[in-house]
């Protein structure tokens, strides 16, 4: 057998060791490792759709948009905060630390975390097989898995830092896997995030709510804000942004048509990063 993976068996919780084309636990449960290098750890009884998660179109749209650098300020702040957490844990380079990016998508933020903390064990998972396939194909050397945030294939108290950027919040699972004293970084949209986009989509655009929320097992540490403005030059770029937002699912035909016909527009972008420490 080769080195152990950071993930555990979703069926029995045993440690997973990597062989050439599979991951194997001590109980004999075996999981295929895809050509791109990721492992599928979402049991059939946890799959609530034939192909859970984002579609191919949404994955490709998000990849193009993020790689164009529109959200680079958000990745930079996430990495700064992760490095600050690692320093508080006594390991500025991340040596000896395990980081997990929950709902990692195509790995844009996961790869940033690995660059910021090169000596840490960084991994990511997402419920979308298509997203994980893209992440593993592009970011070699980072372990990725297909899995759900509500059944994370990680052992109890095995993670020093867990990040969640616009992905489902599974507070009980997050509290289970983060070590006491470890950190949870949660990115949420600011009040006027993508307000310019909403002005095109909706007759009555609305601001996002501002919430101060405590989560069992965690202590709130700080909130930092990143604000900016981006210009979307054409309908294709606007469509890529649209496809990676929840508005994609709840916008009427007229709003989508208006966006498609737009020649270019500016919009505010705003992330709030909430830092929590495990009690």
Is residue 100 part of an annotated ligand binding site?
no
* Burial category of 48 from C-beta neighbours within 10 Å (exposed 0-12, middle 13-18, buried 19 and up): exposed
Residue reference for tokens 């986009």 = 197
* Cβ-contact 125, 139 below 8 angstroms: no
Is residue 106 part of an annotated ligand binding site?
yes
Instruction: Please give the Cα distance from 9 to 112 (Å, whole number).
Output: 27
Is residue 9 part of an annotated ligand binding site?
yes
Is residue 123 part of an annotated ligand binding site?
no
* Cβ-contact 122, 110 below 8 angstroms: yes
Instruction: Please give the Cα distance from 23 to 17 (Å, whole number).
Output: 5
Is residue 160 part of an annotated ligand binding site?
no
* Cβ-contact 201, 251 below 8 angstroms: yes
Could you please report the per-residue DSSP string of 37-55? Answer: S-EE---GGG-SSSS-S--
Cα torsion 197, 64, 167, 42: sign: positive
Is residue 12 part of an annotated ligand binding site?
yes
Cα torsion 95, 147, 1, 11: sign: positive
Binding residues for Zn(2+): 9, 12, 25, 29
Binding residues: 9, 12, 25, 29, 71, 106-107, 193
Binding residues for S-adenosyl-L-methionine: 71, 106-107, 193
């Amino acid at each position: 057998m080769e080195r152990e993976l950071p993930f555990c068996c979703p069926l029995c919780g045993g440690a997973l060791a990597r062989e050439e084309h599979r991951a194997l636990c001590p109980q004999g449960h075996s999981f295929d490792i895809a050509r791109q290098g990721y492992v599928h750890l979402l049991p059939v009884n946890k799959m609530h759709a034939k192909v859970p998660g984002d579609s191919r179109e949404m994955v490709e749209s998000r990849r193009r948009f993020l790689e164009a650098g529109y959200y680079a300020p958000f990745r930079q702040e996430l990495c700064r905060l992760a490095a600050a957490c690692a320093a508080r844990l006594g390991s500025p380079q991340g040596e000896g630390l395990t980081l997990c990016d929950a709902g990692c998508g195509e790995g844009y933020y996961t790869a940033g975390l690995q660059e910021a903390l090169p000596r840490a064990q960084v991994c990511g998972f997402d419920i979308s097989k298509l997203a994980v396939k893209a992440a593993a194909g592009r970011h070699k050397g980072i372990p990725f898995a297909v899995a759900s945030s509500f059944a994370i294939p990680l052992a109890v108290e095995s993670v020093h830092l867990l990040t969640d950027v616009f992905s489902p919040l599974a507070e009980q699972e997050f509290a289970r896997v983060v070590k006491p004293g470890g950190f949870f970084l949660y990115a949420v949209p600011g009040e006027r995030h993508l307000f310019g986009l909403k002005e095109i989509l909706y007759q009555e655009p609305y601001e996002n709510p501002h919430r101060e929320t405590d989560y069992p097992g965690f202590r709130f540490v700080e909130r930092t804000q990143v604000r900016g403005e981006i210009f979307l030059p054409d309908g294709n770029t606007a469509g890529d942004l649209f496809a990676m937002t929840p508005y994609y699912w709840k916008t009427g035909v007229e709003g989508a048509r208006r966006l498609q016909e737009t020649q270019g527009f500016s919009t505010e972008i705003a992330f709030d990063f909430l830092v929590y420490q495990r009690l």
